[in-house]
Structure 1
Amino acid sequence: MRHPLLVLFAAALLAAPLLVTAALPARAEITITPVTSPGGLSAWLYEEHTIPMITIESSFQGGAALDPEGEEGVCVLMTGLLEEGSGDLDSTGFAERREDLAARFGFDCGRDDISISADMLSENRDASVDLLRQALVDPRFDAGAVERVRGQLVAGLEDDATDPGATASRAFFAEAFPGHPYARPTNGTLEAVRALDADAIRAAHGAMLTRDRLRLAVVGDITPEELGPMLDRLFGDLPATGPALPPVAEPELPGTLSVTDFDVPQSLVFFGQHGIARDDPDFIPAFVMDYILGGGGLGSRLSTEVREKRGLTYGINTMLAPYDFGALYMGHFSSANDRVAEAIELTRAEWQRMAEGGVTDAELEAAKKYLTGAYPLRFSGNGRIAAQLLGIQTAGLGLDYVNRRNALVEAVTREDVARVAKRLLDPGELSFVVVGRPEGLEAAGDE
């Protein structure tokens, strides 16, 4: 069960791999094979036969955004139960069987999708696929398991109630997407989770795990001819179609500042504005711009001005967040209550400076050097390769994107960054959610 705050600012698609293989050289090309199963399922395959293992990364579009109103958290609860017994195996029996096969399965519900991952030995492939299929197609949802997993989710929600970061995240999304599923917390609410029954959980299972929403990436010791039938065996008995997806929404962030009282020595601040879709032609220049403004860690402009020069925070970060149904450009930091107002004003000023002035040659070259040099590290193991392929496929970027991506970054010019900064950045829209007891800072309307 992912905490939304951690998801937002974790390095995208860099989950630790089960197996570590040599990182791809910066200029190496990899060959991705598109595979269509006899039953019509599509997948991207990267063959790697040097180690007798197979990694599967899959996702079902929709995720928590498909939670029915009043049943917030049902996606998270349902996916948390998929490994808690299926078919004739109870929770203990399922775990023992998985361990016997030396397999690893992962089930997770996020804001936009449900992710299913698996690592399995080649020699145990068929049995491991059968066990995973059973979890997906025939989960038991035993009463004892439901109460145990519900208890874990409730405990997490109770912790969130005392966590200023979780409070800020919930408030920011509620302000950005009023009336949209994104306004509701991914992990649900205490009232909703406590009221969920077996019928709601089974309904979510039938609605959210459907073949029309499935994206697949496979890496490892398997051929295209073997993969197609395996995919049909694994996913072919799931429902064909699901309910309508939520509409795409434009964030409503009109430059407001809100304060939620919280008795902590440091205020937690979420800030942001509308973002840019992942398939927008300007996304790569915007990505480079973000690295320079706030996404580049300690070397970014915001970190230099807010952290290094004035010591107002231990860290400030920004990110482009192109969610499926609404794109954001957002960031966060924490600062002492008596200094947070100054940090917010500096953030606004840097937003304005980037919008009006673009970047220097030195900033651009440093950004491109880092972004192109770091990219091969995302392919340093089977799990990372599979996650990258799934993300590229999900974004609709094409089979050749892996081999084109660094060239796209290198082609970005100062003029591109200036144009995109002027187009994207809107200091008048930049909104702040503050959780704490900030001094000299009151909630305000349009700035």
Structure 2
Amino acid sequence: MSYIARAFLGAVLTLFVALPARAEIDIQEVKSPGGLTAWLVEEPSIPFVALEIRFRGGASLDEPGKRGAVNLMTGLLEEGAGDLDARSFAAATESLAASFSYDAYDDAVSVSARFLTENRDEAVALLRDSLINPRFDEDAVERVRAQVISGLRSDANDPDTIASKAFDELLFGDHPYGSAFRGTPETVAALTRDDLLQAHANTMARDRVYISAAGDISADELAQLMDRLLGDLPETGAPLPEDVTVETTAGVTVVPFDTPQSVALFGHEGIAMDDPDFFAAYVMNVVLGGGGFEARLMEEVREKRGLTYGVYSYLATKDHAELIVGRVASANNRIAEAVEVIQSEWARMAEEGVTQDELDRAKTYLTGAYPLRFDGNGPIAGILVGMQMDGFPIDYPVTRNAKVEAVTLDDVRRVAKRLLKPEALRFVVVGQPEGLEPSPGQ
């Protein structure tokens, strides 16, 4: 029976992914009797539901000296719950052809569930136990702890991870963003079961939960499901961290590492999503470094000079800080030139903005690609919960492309001059770069 259910779920997923993409979707706001709120897109034609849950705060709520606790706790949610140990929980999940995933990030703990309509009640009961009554059995803790520590030790030899660590420390200092949310081998090794229980209480509470669903479930059914699933969580979690102001100066920080290719991260303070200029900044970045082979950085650094296989930039909007950042990798004897070209293009965009042709192409790219994101229950549910956390209105999928189209050439030129700060553009380079001198006091 479980094999048939699994095969049917696979067929459902394949079929739904093949359905036409659609951005004009009917989103309902659903309130439960217990006071929880969710956004829902009903799709009753296929007996399958995707459920997304986010808890704001995430790994930023690690207790002092307990870095990595939220990440380890999250990794243990599927390793036994209620009366079921890890093996029994996995067997029960498989027998229902359900799928659960749990992830930790800087600003959120994420829970994703997929299940068939016929198994909804049993799947929700199993998911509830994992969220409300995780076991944190000693053998499971030690197994997952070993996996995390192994990954951390491997990352210690990864140039990208080294660059991210140095970049975050430089920009964020002693704020939680300034250290890796997975912790270090030492901090993870020292975590106790009590630390995991505290991490669970800090992060998984009703005052910070966001919920969305897409598929074969009605508003009334979802309202009842929310209370069954989450009604027994504590009302409040730990206080969220303070906002952090990013202050950088132009220059280069070099982290020596024995590798034939240097990796560079670069950026400075960005722009908030609720800023009136955000969409203009978003369009501008597509032209600068977010539009693939059409972007200026790709054209200048890769196509014209062959300095890299890829270079990009993006707007990074965290809950407590905003950045505009990018990445490039190049041979040690060519990274200095790549850095120089990026600095030049950063300054040129700040001074000149974009051309009308670049603006038109960026708009076409953004408006044409957007509907393709809505290609199944899972992606739709993920988009809905992300919209809630980002503070977007419920009609955002309908109005989003109009906001992009409304951006003018003057808007982009104004925001480029405001946002791009060559005098603050900081590079962190990991490798053995030639001809690239570290800035004083790096």
The one-letter code sitting in structure 2 at the alignment partner of 1:406 is N
- Secondary structure of 2:81's aligned partner: coil
Native 8 Å contact 1:21 1:382 kept in 2 = no
Aligned mate of 2:75, from 74, 80, 97: 80
Note the C-alpha offset of 1:446.
Answer: 8.6
- Secondary structure of 2:220's aligned partner: helix
Note the C-alpha offset of 1:252.
Answer: 2.2
**Is 423-432 or 243-252 further displaced after alignment?**
243-252
Identical counterparts, % of pairs: 53
Note the C-alpha offset of 1:178.
Answer: 1.1
Aligned mate of 1:329, from 324, 344, 350: 324
Q: Tell me the distance in 1 between the aligned counterparts of 2:39 and 2:18.
A: 19
TM-score for the superposition, normalised by structure 1:
0.94
Task: Tell me the residue number matched to 1:6.
Answer: none
Note the C-alpha offset of 1:379.
Answer: 0.1
Task: Tell me the residue number matched to 1:64.
Answer: 59
Q: Tell me the distance in 2 between the aligned counterparts of 1:35 and 1:229.
A: 10
Aligned mate of 2:17, from 17, 20, 32: 20
Q: Tell me the distance in 1 between the aligned counterparts of 2:439 and 2:176.
A: 26
Native 8 Å contact 1:267 1:334 kept in 2 = yes
> What does the per-residue CA deviation read over 1:198-254, in whole Å, with 9 as the maximum and x for residues that have no partner?
110111011110110101111011111111110000011111101110111111222
Task: Tell me the residue number matched to 1:183.
Answer: 178
Q: 1:429 to 1:31 in 2, by over 3 A?
A: same
> What does the per-residue CA deviation read over 1:8-38, in whole Å, with 9 as the maximum and x for residues that have no partner?
xxxxxxxxx774152335xx52111001100
Alignment of 1:289-438 (within 5 A): 289-438=284-433
- Secondary structure of 2:265's aligned partner: strand
Q: Tell me the distance in 2 between the aligned counterparts of 1:179 and 1:97.
A: 42
Q: Tell me the distance in 2 between the aligned counterparts of 1:297 and 1:58.
A: 31
Q: Tell me the distance in 1 between the aligned counterparts of 2:136 and 2:258.
A: 40
Native 8 Å contact 1:256 1:446 kept in 2 = no
Q: Tell me the distance in 2 between the aligned counterparts of 1:58 and 1:255.
A: 40
- Secondary structure of 2:109's aligned partner: strand
The one-letter code sitting in structure 2 at the alignment partner of 1:354 is M
Alignment of 1:201-220 (within 5 A): 201-220=196-215
Note the C-alpha offset of 1:340.
Answer: 0.6
The one-letter code sitting in structure 2 at the alignment partner of 1:81 is L
The one-letter code sitting in structure 2 at the alignment partner of 1:20 is V
Native 8 Å contact 1:178 1:252 kept in 2 = no
Q: Tell me the distance in 2 between the aligned counterparts of 1:255 and 1:211.
A: 43
Alignment partner of 1:31 is 2:49 = no
Task: Tell me the residue number matched to 2:107.
Answer: 112
Task: Tell me the residue number matched to 2:169.
Answer: 174
Note the C-alpha offset of 1:147.
Answer: 0.6
Alignment partner of 1:42 is 2:8 = no
Aligned mate of 1:229, from 224, 229, 250: 224
Task: Tell me the residue number matched to 2:5.
Answer: none
Native 8 Å contact 1:348 1:427 kept in 2 = yes
The one-letter code sitting in structure 2 at the alignment partner of 1:170 is K
> What does the per-residue CA deviation read over 1:293-326, in whole Å, with 9 as the maximum and x for residues that have no partner?
0011121000100001001111001110010010
Task: Tell me the residue number matched to 2:50.
Answer: 55
- Secondary structure of 1:317's aligned partner: strand
Q: Tell me the distance in 2 between the aligned counterparts of 1:96 and 1:426.
A: 54
> What does the per-residue CA deviation read over 1:113-133, in whole Å, with 9 as the maximum and x for residues that have no partner?
000010011011011000000
Q: Tell me the distance in 2 between the aligned counterparts of 1:236 and 1:254.
A: 48
- Secondary structure of 1:20's aligned partner: helix
Q: Tell me the distance in 1 between the aligned counterparts of 2:198 and 2:389.
A: 25
Note the C-alpha offset of 1:163.
Answer: 0.4
Task: Tell me the residue number matched to 1:151.
Answer: 146
The one-letter code sitting in structure 2 at the alignment partner of 1:75 is V
Consecutive unaligned residues in structure 2, runs of 5 or more: 1-12
**What is the RMSD computed on CA atoms of the aligned residues?**
1.2
Q: Tell me the distance in 1 between the aligned counterparts of 2:256 and 2:180.
A: 19
Q: Tell me the distance in 1 between the aligned counterparts of 2:83 and 2:263.
A: 48
The one-letter code sitting in structure 2 at the alignment partner of 1:324 is D
Alignment partner of 1:256 is 2:251 = yes
TM-score for the superposition, normalised by structure 2:
0.95
Alignment partner of 1:163 is 2:158 = yes
Q: Tell me the distance in 2 between the aligned counterparts of 1:151 and 1:217.
A: 33
- Secondary structure of 2:93's aligned partner: helix
Q: 1:253 to 1:379 in 2, by over 3 A?
A: same
Task: Tell me the residue number matched to 1:103.
Answer: 98
Native 8 Å contact 1:168 1:270 kept in 2 = yes
Q: Tell me the distance in 2 between the aligned counterparts of 1:23 and 1:149.
A: 40
Task: Tell me the residue number matched to 2:9.
Answer: none
Native 8 Å contact 1:85 1:140 kept in 2 = yes
Q: Tell me the distance in 2 between the aligned counterparts of 1:179 and 1:139.
A: 31
